[in-house]
Amino acid sequence: MDDARQRRELFWFLAIAFVVLAAGIGLRAPWPADEPRFALVAKQMWDSGQWLFPHRGHELYADKPPLFFWLIGACYAVVRNWNIAFLLPSLIAAMATLWLTYDLGRRLFSHRAGLWAAIGVLACAQFLYQAKRAQIDPTVVCFITLGVYGIARHVLRGPSHGGPAWRWYWIGCFAAGLGVISKGVGFLALLMLVPYAWMRWRKWDGLAQLGSHNAWRWSAGALAFLAAIALWFAPMVITAMTSGDAEHRAYLHELLFKQTATRYASAWHHTQPFWYFLPIIAGFWMPFALALPWVAPRWRDAWRARDARVWLPLAWAVLVLVFFSASPGKRDMYILPMLPMVALAAGPYLADVVGKRGFRACLVALVVVLGLVFLGAGLFAVLRDPSFEVRIESERGLDPASDALWWLLAACGAAMLAAMAWWRRDALRGSAVALSLLVIVLFSGTAVLLDPENSSRAVMERGRALAGDATLGLVGWKEQNLLQAVGPTEDFGFRQPFDVQFAAGLTWLRMDPAHRRLFVLDEALDKCVDRSKAQPVGTANRRAWWVVDANAVAGCR
């Protein structure tokens, strides 16, 4: 295949991926979970100019290192719109991950293998969902993929890659360090050196010829890894140890111990069994996961052929799976860093697999069933009043008289089925168009319809209307409340128990009752409050809120 055609295919793939991944950006504010927290931390960094120690309200936020928040802030510096900026790091990271997967596949195998590997990543429901959310995972996946990419370019040999490439090895180690200061687990990229050492000892095919007198060059990789971490860690530690601020030292201790070692070894939430990630791969990696039963025999043959180009990335993915499975705390997105390397190992075989009649039948069945589910659920909700319609409309603050959400679901299903009917003789193209339409229409439509409730924007606007010009003191608040607050606000700690927050808020309110009001979560409203004198604000994210003035708390002590 000539270079011009290869460039065209890559261009159209990346263009389609960009449209699918970018659809909906700017149409909504941050939604729980996680998005409002990260956007709020980034906004407070920007407003305060304090970039070393993240804050959530008045409290230091030690759950995550700050690199992701810096990236959101950098995007805001360019676009000057938080509703756009908070999603840009995920979009950029996802596009970079696709390109890295393609380019490594091209170098190790061929252009077509690299393209199919990138398609495999994009054709994964978990990747699509995470790429369209402002969570840290797409960014850390990008850094880990860059780390693995750099190491693989150094130690593997393919038709377009002769190796060794020490600079790429050092870049890979540096990227792993950046992953550490984004979510702590960036070091996983370095695990690729473990199966590499074993394969080199066993003299597998596909490895670059590296001399035996390169100890200082290998050691420089550790320096590059530590240098990336030191970009933030060094000034943060120096400041924490010399500022005399007890909060800074507490932040350092919690970040290094509770949020890393303790969270991994003795997780206090999201506990799951050892085998938890296997059904995640089978279900959340659809439709890419459909190809794995046909790819598995090819991997067996590659093992027998001792092909390191296939098994080095695959062995690394297995190590990542074991690493996260060993921890009692598990969430579905933890294994997302595996995906690019699994797709890379499948890339040389996917062109043949997608031509199999059995695979195409499974793919068509999956897409048609999805289309029928969306169409059927949407029409059923429009024509009848099923319990799921009533529940969802109540939980999401939707007008029961409006069927916009259900028409949207029906339109998604109808568009999918129409695409499959139009391209009935080309299952791959029909499925690609149908799934692309689903992602674009569903994410864009729900962004418009659900944003007032999911972002808490509507309830904060109503709270401000009730409070007038008074300062709102937030009690039992969530990050989206402070992020979407209109006008002056005060908070009394985020992690403090509700009764402690309410007591502090009560003292604060009585200091200037004419110019202050409390904005209180229903569960945090003390029994002493006279609810007949409090003002109900409404609900957001299944939580009810009140505005309370001095008259309503007159009986409180």
For the segment 50-76, what is each residue's pLDDT rounded down to a tens digit? 999 999 999 999 888 999 999 999 999
Q: How confident is the model at residue 391 (pLDDT cuts 50, 70, 90)?
A: confident
Distance CA 524, CA 542 (A): 14
Q: Under a CB-based contact definition with an 8 Å cutoff, are residues 533 and 551 in contact? A: yes
- Which letter does DSSP use for residue 384 in this model? S
**What pLDDT does 211 receive?**
64
Q: Residue 196: pLDDT above 60?
A: yes
Distance CA 55, CA 51 (A): 9
530 Cβ contact list (under 8 Å, min separation 6): 551, 552, 553, 554, 555
Average pLDDT of 274-291? 96
Distance CA 378, CA 405 (A): 8
Within 156-289, residue ranges assigned H as helices are 166-183, 193-201, 215-242, 246-253, 263-265, 277-284
**What pLDDT does 478 receive?**
97
**What pLDDT does 523 receive?**
95
DSSP E strands in 483-540: the ranges are 489-491, 516-521, 535-540
Distance CA 342, CA 345 (A): 5
Q: Of the given ranges (37-51, 231-245, 439-453), which has the lowest mean pLDDT? A: 231-245
Characterize 401-418 residue by residue with b for buried, 16 or more Cβ atoms within 10 angstroms of its Cβ, and e for exposed: eebebbebbbbbbbbbbe
Average pLDDT of 372-386? 93
Mean model confidence pLDDT for the chain: 93
Question: What is the C-alpha end-to-end distance of the chain, expressed in Å?
Answer: 81
Strand partners of residue 535: 547
549: left (phi over 0), alpha (psi -120 to 50) or beta: beta
Order of strands, edge to edge, in the sheet holding 535-540? 489-491, 471-475, 516-521, 543-548, 535-540
Helix (H), strand (E) at residue 59: strand 59-60
Distance CA 348, CA 354 (A): 12
Q: Read off the tokens for 291.
A: 């190809």
**What pLDDT does 319 receive?**
97
- Written as one letter, the residue type at 126 is Q
CB atoms within 10 A of CB 354: 18
CA distances to 240, 342, 379, 401 from 375, in Å: 56, 33, 6, 20
Q: Under a CB-based contact definition with an 8 Å cutoff, are residues 115 and 348 in contact? A: no
Does the pTM exceed 0.75? yes
The string of pLDDT tens digits covering residues 227-268 is 999 999 999 989 888 887 888 888 887 777 665 655 555 554
Distance CA 491, CA 126 (A): 36
Q: Under a CB-based contact definition with an 8 Å cutoff, are residues 37 and 479 in contact? A: yes
**What pLDDT does 491 receive?**
97
**What pLDDT does 261 receive?**
55
Q: Residue 200: pLDDT above 70?
A: yes
CB atoms within 10 A of CB 527: 7
CB atoms within 10 A of CB 497: 11
- Which letter does DSSP use for residue 256 in this model? I
The string of pLDDT tens digits covering residues 76-104 is 999 999 999 999 999 999 999 999 999 99
**What pLDDT does 430 receive?**
97
Strand partners of residue 520: 475, 546
CA distances to 132, 139, 417 from 127, in Å: 9, 12, 23
3-class secondary structure for 72-115?
HHHHHHHHCCHHHHCCHHHHHHHHHHHHHHHHHHHHHCCHHHHH
Average pLDDT of 509-524? 96
- Written as one letter, the residue type at 482 is L
Average pLDDT of 320-344? 94
**What pLDDT does 384 receive?**
85
Distance CA 391, CA 45 (A): 38
Query: 3-class DSSP state for residue 162?
Result: coil
Q: How confident is the model at residue 439 (pLDDT cuts 50, 70, 90)?
A: very high
**What pLDDT does 327 receive?**
87
Distance CA 221, CA 159 (A): 26
Average pLDDT of 176-189? 94
Within 23-64, residue ranges assigned H as helices are 35-48
Characterize 210-228 residue by residue with b for buried, 16 or more Cβ atoms within 10 angstroms of its Cβ, and e for exposed: beeeeeeeeebbeebbeeb
Q: Read off the tokens for 474.
A: 């937030």
More confident residue, 183 or 430: 430
The number of C-alpha atoms within 13 Å of 336 and in the hemisphere containing its C-beta is 28
The string of pLDDT tens digits covering residues 353-369 is 999 999 999 999 999 99
Distance CA 98, CA 435 (A): 18
Q: Under a CB-based contact definition with an 8 Å cutoff, are residues 483 and 40 in contact? A: yes
Average pLDDT of 282-289? 97
**What pLDDT does 250 receive?**
81
- Share of residues in the chain with pLDDT > 70 (%): 96
